Amino acid sequence: MDRAGIEEETIVIFTSDHGEMMGSHGSMGKAVFWDESFRVPFMIRWPNQLKARHEELLIGTPDIMPTVLGLMGLGESIPESVEGQNYVAAIQDQPDAVRPEFAWYYNAWNGRGLRTKDTACYFERGDRTGSNDYLFDMPNDPCQLENQARARPKQVKEFARETRHWMAGLNDKFIAYPSGQKLLDALPG
């Protein structure tokens, strides 16, 4: 970029589609709800356009395309059918920027859920795993070692309600394999 003279006008993004467990929680896989797999980097370099800083923006994979289009000045061209949101205002640190309260957890095989800055809640459904609910207090349990789902059923139901809302908004037709029930119907509450 330097030699080509396009350094100042080039957006460089470093990200990943998932993390790796590397033995954490006894897992070597990747498509799980633990933070080691779920949280991935999303770094943007764009000299003279974005100031260097750390932003705790809860951006999800569906938000990447509309946000990048927004950075390119194509925000008005994003089709309404796009499921993600354009968070350029938050990335540019505009005072009136909308910052999402939730990050969407999606596992193609057996689960859905949401993550806030303080709480992670996941609903696992499948033929081998059965039905499991997980709720973690992230500031006090960042390694996700103590599942609080049974001790805090009201909060689990609130997350289930919000997860159903997200699934409906994304037209998610996930099915719990053993019963044939839609996951929307199998969540608590």
CATH classification for the domain delimited by 101-189, as one of 3.30.1120.10, 1.10.10.10, 3.20.20.70, 1.10.10.60: 3.30.1120.10
- Render the burial of 95-132: b for 16+ CB within 10 Å, e for the rest: eeeeeeebbbbbbeebbbbbbeeebbbbbbbbeeeebe
pLDDT tens-place string over residues 120-146:
999 887 665 567 899 999 999 999 999
Instruction: Report d(CA 177, CA 43) in Å as an integer.
Output: 37
Q: Is the pLDDT of residue 180 over 60?
A: no
Task: Report helix, strand or coil for 28.
Answer: coil
Q: Is the pLDDT of residue 91 over 80?
A: yes
- Token code pair at residue 17: 């589609």
| CB of 102 closer than 8 Å to CB of 166 | yes
Q: Is the pLDDT of residue 108 over 70?
A: no
pLDDT at 129: 58
pLDDT tens-place string over residues 45-75:
998 898 888 888 888 888 899 999 999 999 9
What angle (nearest 5°) sits at the alpha carbon of residue 88, between those of residues 107 and 1? Answer: 95
Q: Reduced to 3 DSSP states, what percent helix, strand and coil does the chain have, rounded to the nearest 5?
A: 25, 20, 55
The mean of the pLDDT values for the chain is: 84
Q: Is the pLDDT of residue 181 over 80?
A: no
| CB of 42 closer than 8 Å to CB of 15 | yes
Average of pLDDT values for 101-112?
78
Instruction: Report d(CA 172, CA 189) in Å as an integer.
Output: 18
